[in-house]
Amino acid sequence: MTSKPAKNLDTFPNPFVNRDYHIHMEIPEFTCLCPKTGQPDFATLVLDYIPDKKCVELKSLKLYIWSYRDEGVFHEAVTNKILDDLVAALKPRYIRLIARFYVRGGIFTNVTVDFRKKRWKPKPMVFLQDFDNELNFRK
């Protein structure tokens, strides 16, 4: 069976709905087209979210990201569109998408967008000692 690009995002029930936890994904193969020149644009997408009732299914996310390969779209527009689609599908407690576009015309572009569910308050950040740095310090 051959996979094809698709705009739908499948989800599955959050297995730990009573806990805030962080899901981090890096998608290094995002491509779309420059709407002015038709030349390809390449980016790494960094997705971080705290799910509420749903999590995104990875294969559908891959096919969704692939669906932009032949679309002419500005960096700002595509980053916001992807976030909007993820928010609509997941209704997360919090989500942030960073699109790190590779150089075009001598300029790197990073676009960061986020969404926070109303009335959701994050717990205070806990900072733990960096174990790797501690090991290097002891050498």
Q: What is the CATH number of the domain that holds 59?
A: 3.30.1130.10
More confident residue, 121 or 130: 121
User: Within a domain: residue 4?
Assistant: no
Q: What is the pLDDT of residues 45-78, one digit of tens each?
A: 999 999 999 999 999 999 999 999 999 999 999 9
User: Within a domain: residue 1?
Assistant: no
User: Could you tell me which residues come within 8 angstroms of residue 32 by beta carbon, excluding any fewer than 6 positions away?
Assistant: 40, 41, 43, 68, 69, 71, 72, 73, 78
pTM of the model: 0.87
Which of the residues are catalytic? 34, 41
> How many domains are there within the chain?
1
Q: What's the domain range around 95?
A: 11-138
User: Within a domain: residue 113?
Assistant: yes
pLDDT of residue 138: 55
Q: What is the pLDDT of residues 24-48, one digit of tens each?
A: 999 999 999 999 999 999 999 999 9
According to DSSP, the β-strands at 107-116 and 54-56 are unpaired
